[in-house]
Structure 1
Amino acid sequence: MRRTDVAAVLIDIEAQLRYLSLWESIPPSAEALASQEPFCIDTLTLPQWLQFVFLPTLYRLLEQEASLPERCAIAPMAEEYFRGSALATSGLLRALRQIDELLTA
């Protein structure tokens, strides 16, 4: 896995969230971000978790040249979250599958 590939997919995830108008200008509260549940499912929507937890965490790991997660499985959660949605999420789901593959490979 090349770190530049991971960075490129992270940029694509952000672009897809913006394209779908799911990018938010106001961050959630510190309490919401402090959730101990997977994906902060009790306090954030999946798009919020991607924007305010997942992307910043991976960008920070890349910048610090720290170890990246060895396993990732966000796409199945996203597929379930967006099931039945009228949004054109195929690009976002494709990018999430790519990040899963890159980090799990």
Structure 2
Amino acid sequence: MPATDRNAEIREKLDAIEAEMRRLGIWEIPAPAPEACGNMGAFGMNTMAYEQWLRHVFVPRVRQTLETGGPWPPSSSVGTQAIRNFDGWHEGSDLIDLLCQFDDLF
């Protein structure tokens, strides 16, 4: 698949993820303290909530990569992590699905 088509798919999926986060009220979650971004570990779990990581790290980094044309990682596990973090949260099922679909793009 040409890079432009893949980037369009990624942008479309990211827009849907952001829209669902807004619908759920996750988009309004406060930013982590600046020092929390230093040694945050995978998905920010060392220093912040997964929702904070999605909102303030994941979405901005994906948007930046789209803008700069930077390289994409060989795989993604945000959907798998969402399943772990949002297990039992019925309202979050659409967000989990979108994040799993994002993983499928890699």
Range into which the TM-score falls when normalised by the shorter chain: 0.7 to 0.9
Q: CA deviation at 1:84?
A: 2.2
Find the counterpart in structure 2 of residue 38 from structure 1. Answer: 42
State yes or no: 1:60 paired with 2:64. Answer: yes
Find the counterpart in structure 2 of residue 89 from structure 1. Answer: 92
State yes or no: 1:23 paired with 2:22. Answer: no
Name the % identity. Answer: 32
Deviates more, 1:24-33 or 1:54-63: 24-33
Deviates more, 1:16-25 or 1:71-80: 16-25
Give the aligned residue type for 1:35.
N
TM-score w.r.t. the length of structure 1 is 0.88
Relative contact order (C-alpha < 8 Å, sep 6+): which is higher? 1
Q: CA deviation at 1:48?
A: 0.8
Q: CA deviation at 1:46?
A: 1.0
Per-residue Cα deviation, 1:57-85 (whole angstroms, up to 9, x for no partner): 11101100111111101111111111122
Partner of 1:23, secondary structure, is helix
Count of residues paired in the alignment: 102
Give the aligned residue type for 1:40.
G
**Runs of 5+ in structure 2 lacking a partner?**
none
More helix by share: 2
The separation in 2 between residues aligned to 1:27 and 1:77, in whole angstroms, is 20
Partner of 2:83, secondary structure, is helix
Per-residue Cα deviation, 1:24-68 (whole angstroms, up to 9, x for no partner): 264221111222411110211111101111111111011001111
| Residue among 73, 80, 83 paired with 1:79 | 83
